[in-house]
């Protein structure tokens, strides 16, 4: 910590941006992503937009898994619910914000519904319950044409130009979508940070750490688990809606168990329960995955094989390496290095 800075009240001490260096970094760093799309090519802008959207979904997963410790394996299903709901509302001209909000709420309701067994069971059983949801969504609900009156069809095209509310404030270009995803990602990251530093996040973590102890100390464990499901489910649903809007087309095969695992890799890579860890994980995994994909495509062209099918190996390798080297994620590892450098050469 820099010498000479101190706090005279608790509110300042609990601030997110406390030190002078942090304030300078924020002032310098924050405008960069807003300028970026005007300097980068369309392909990179689209990739970053997708990274921001996935960041929202991973932040939602972080609330349920990282904070409250509930293993949910229905990330793809929650995103699908958000995407299809958003698509239906955009089709009737509701506008993007109402559509995203309703998509998020429906996803939150379904998440709460599948969180209800947590009244009796935890851990493995909740994982299985949500895995069932994933397969119901992936293998039956969204591919069932007889249920098109509910979801609107397995494949749907979304309007390319939509208003933010109704027809007001039309968005449609790649840059518009980029900026919208960036702003929403920053908002959800801020909300997650606030959740983490206030009583709600602390009670979630108490449940994660020791639910027996938490309940004896006054935490209504069941109610708080459902609250975590609702908050996380909402964020993942909104991310699903944004994802559909960004690519302009949705298909049930986008929202598979593979997507769920991809988001797990991102969260585990950065660090469970850490907002900055989730963002770091999404950023690194998305970019490396993109470069790797290019490399595998090149290899496929060169050898005439389907080398891109090897991509999932990359996720498996990341999980193994991170869990073996630093189970708390890369951010925790970076924290250790920072602490070592801060106290060097008198670390003892």
Smallest gap from residue 203 Cβ to other proteins (A): 6
Residue ranges in 148-207 that form contacts with other proteins under rule CB under 8 A: 191, 194-195, 197-203, 205-206
Is residue 26 involved in binding other proteins (CB under 8 A)? Answer: no
Instruction: Pick from 231, 238, 296, 322 the residue near other proteins by CB under 8 A.
Output: 231
Tell which positions 30-89 bind other proteins, by CB under 8 A: none
Binding flag, residue 265, other proteins (CB under 8 A): no
List binders of other proteins among 273-292 (CB under 8 A): none
- Reading the block at residue 260, the tokens are 């769920």
Shortest approach of other proteins to residue 66 CB, angstroms?
A: 13
Q: How far is the CB of 210 from other proteins (least distance, A)?
A: 6
Q: What's the chain look like in SS3?
A: CCCCCCCCCHHHHCCCCCCHHHHHHHHHHCHHHHHHHHHCCHHHHHHHHHHHHHHHHHHHHHHHHHHCCCCCCCHHHHHHHHHHHHHHHHHCCCCHHHHHHHHHHHHHHHHHHHHHHHHCCCCHHHHHHHHHHHHHHHHHHCCCHHHHHHHCCCEEECCCCECCECCECCECCHHHHHHHHHHHHHHHHHHHHHHHHCHHHHHHHHHHHHHHHHHHCCCCHHHHHHHHHHHHHHHHHHHHHHHHHHHCEEEHHHCCHHHHHHHHHHHHHHCCCCHHHHHHHHHHHHHHHHHHHHHHHHHHHHHCCCHHHHHHHHHHHHHHHHHHHCCCCHHHHHHHHHHHHHHCCCCC
For position 227 contacting other proteins by CB under 8 A, the verdict is: yes
Give dist(CA 231, CA 225) in Å, integer: 10
Tell me which stretch binds other proteins (CB under 8 A): 92-100, 147-155, 208-216, 247-255. 208-216
* Inter-CA distances, 97 with 122, 164, 188, 190, Å: 34, 6, 14, 18
Identify which range of 176-184, 210-218, 317-325, 335-343 contacts other proteins by CB under 8 A: 210-218
- Minimum CB separation of residue 217 from other proteins in Å reads 5
10/149 with CB nearer other proteins: 10
9/348 with CB nearer other proteins: 9
To other proteins, the closest distance from the beta carbon of 290 in angstroms equals 32
Interaction of residue 218 with other proteins, rule CB under 8 A: yes
Tokens of 196: 């983490």
Binding of other proteins by 105 (CB under 8 A): no
Q: Please identify, using beta-carbon distances, which residue of 200 and 261 lies nearer to other proteins.
A: 200
Q: Are 133 and 112 in contact (CB under 8 A)?
A: no
Give whichever of 10 and 38 is closer to other proteins, judged by the CB atom: 10
Between 184 and 227, name the residue whose CB sits nearer to other proteins. Answer: 227
The footprint of other proteins on residues 6-25 (CB under 8 A) is 9-11, 13-14
Number of residues in contact with other proteins under rule CB under 8 A = 31
Q: Does 220 bind other proteins (CB under 8 A)?
A: yes
Q: Does 1 bind other proteins (CB under 8 A)?
A: no
Question: Interface with other proteins by CB under 8 A: which residues?
Answer: 9-11, 13-14, 191, 194-195, 197-203, 205-206, 209-210, 212-221, 227, 231
């Amino acid at each position: 910590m820099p010498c000479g800075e101190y706090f005279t009240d608790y509110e300042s001490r609990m601030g997110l941006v406390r030190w002078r260096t942090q304030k300078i970094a924020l002032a310098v760093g924050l405008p960069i992503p807003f300028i970026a799309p005007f300097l980068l090519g369309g392909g990179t802008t689209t990739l970053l937009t997708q990274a921001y959207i996935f960041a929202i979904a991973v932040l939602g997963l972080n609330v349920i898994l990282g904070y409250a410790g509930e293993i949910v394996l229905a990330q793809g299903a929650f995103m699908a619910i958000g995407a299809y709901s958003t698509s239906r509302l955009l089709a009737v001209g509701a506008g993007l914000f109402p559509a995203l909000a309703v998509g998020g709420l429906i996803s939150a309701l379904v998440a709460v519904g599948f969180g209800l067994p947590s009244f009796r069971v935890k851990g493995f059983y909740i994982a299985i319950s949500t895995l069932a949801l994933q397969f119901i969504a992936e293998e039956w609900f969204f591919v069932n044409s007889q249920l098109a009156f509910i979801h609107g069809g397995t494949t749907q095209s979304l309007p390319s130009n939509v208003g933010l509310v109704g027809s007001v404030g039309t968005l449609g270009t790649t840059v518009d979508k980029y900026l919208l995803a960036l702003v929403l990602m920053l908002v959800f990251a801020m909300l997650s940070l606030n959740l983490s530093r206030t009583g709600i996040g602390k009670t979630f973590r108490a449940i994660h750490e020791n639910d027996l102890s938490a309940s004896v100390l006054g935490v209504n464990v069941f109610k708080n688990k459902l609250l975590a499901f609702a908050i996380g489910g909402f964020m993942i649903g909104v991310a699903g809606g944004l994802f559909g809007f960004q690519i302009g087309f949705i298909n049930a095969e986008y929202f598979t168990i593979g997507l769920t695992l991809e988001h797990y890799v991102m969260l585990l890579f950065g660090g469970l329960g850490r907002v900055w860890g989730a963002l770091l994980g999404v950023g690194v995994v998305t970019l490396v995955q993109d470069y790797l994909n290019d490399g595998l495509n090149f290899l496929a062209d060169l050898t005439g094989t389907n080398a891109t099918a090897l991509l999932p190996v990359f996720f498996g390798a990341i999980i193994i390496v991170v869990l073996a080297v630093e189970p708390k994620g890369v951010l925790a590892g970076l924290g250790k290095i920072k602490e070592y450098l801060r106290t060097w050469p008198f670390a003892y």
